[in-house]
């Protein structure tokens, strides 16, 4: 059984402004770097075989900081882990979208990447991890929209309404017949940081 730990990247200025990032390559801000460092401390005691990351700098920097604490695990870029391209909504806030396209903007074709495209590349990644690490543990540092879509595919019939926290950890055990979510959206390392 392959275990995949999905980690959402640290926070960015656009996250704080409520702007859709998609394929826009926004860096971590100072707080995002601190969050990634706290996540790295959490993983220092864990054993993971590899760290795969989206090439977008907000995810890649998060993965690199985690990798510094886990020197036995190589950090590997994988374009399949990139965020869903948002098309015309990238850089906009919810208020911008309502003003520009009205309350039904989600029903419009705003040139974003299709759900099917995201799932195809996400499942390609999962299948490769199953082949490479049949009894292993892999971290996948990625993006909230991508991870939530992939979870809906891996765990059919399960809905997770709450947004994924920045640097949250979600662990899924990938089986031949069934997948099991062992941990969802855990940000305990950030609570410990504040106390």
Choice among 48-52, 61-65, 160-164 with the minimum mean pLDDT: 160-164
CA dihedral 94→187→160→53, nearest 10 degrees, is 80
DSSP 39-81: HHHHHTTS--SEEEE-SSHHHHHHHHHHHHH-TTSEEEE-GGG
Catalytic site includes residue 9? yes
Residue 71 confidence (pLDDT)? 79
Residue 195 confidence (pLDDT)? 44
Instruction: Show contacts of 72-78: CB within 8 Å, 24+ apart.
Output: 72/47, 73/48, 73/49, 73/139, 74/50, 75/51, 76/50, 76/51, 76/52, 77/52, 77/53, 78/52, 78/53, 78/54, 78/125
SS3 6: strand
Catalytic site includes residue 72? no
Residues 108-152 pLDDT 10s: 999 999 999 999 999 999 999 999 999 999 999 999 999 999 999
CA distance 18 to 97: 11
Residue tagged active-site, from 37, 83, 90, 113? 83
Q: Domains along the chain? A: 2-194 (3.40.50.1240)
Report the pLDDT averaged over residues 71-87.
94
CA distance 172 to 167: 16
CA distance 159 to 153: 10
CA distance 128 to 11: 28
Q: What percent of the chain has a predicted confidence (pLDDT) above 90?
A: 89
- pLDDT interval class at 194 (50, 70, 90): low
Residues 145-178 pLDDT 10s: 999 999 999 999 887 788 999 999 999 999 988 9
Residue 176 confidence (pLDDT)? 87
Return all residues near 31 (Cβ < 8 A) that are at least 6 apart.
10, 11
């Amino acid at each position: 059984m392959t275990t995949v730990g999905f980690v959402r990247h640290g926070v960015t200025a656009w996250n704080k402004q409520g702007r859709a990032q998609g394929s826009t390559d926004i860096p971590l801000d100072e707080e995002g770097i601190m969050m990634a460092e706290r996540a790295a401390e959490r993983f220092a005691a864990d054993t993971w075989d590899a760290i795969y990351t989206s090439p977008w700098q907000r995810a890649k920097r998060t993965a690199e900081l985690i990798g510094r604490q886990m020197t036995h695990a190589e950090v590997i870029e994988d374009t399949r882990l990139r965020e869903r391209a948002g098309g015309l909504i990238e850089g906009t806030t919810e208020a911008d979208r309502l003003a520009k396209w009205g309350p039904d903007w989600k029903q419009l074709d705003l040139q974003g990447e299709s759900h099917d495209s995201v799932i195809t590349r996400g499942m390609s990644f999962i299948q490769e991890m199953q082949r490479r690490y049949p009894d292993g543990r892999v971290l996948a540092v990625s993006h909230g929209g991508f991870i939530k879509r992939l979870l809906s595919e891996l765990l059919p019939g399960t809905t997770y309404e709450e947004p994924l926290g920045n640097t949250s950890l979600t662990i899924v055990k990938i089986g031949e017949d069934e997948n099991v979510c062992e941990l969802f959206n855990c940000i305990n390392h950030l609570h410990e940081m504040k106390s």
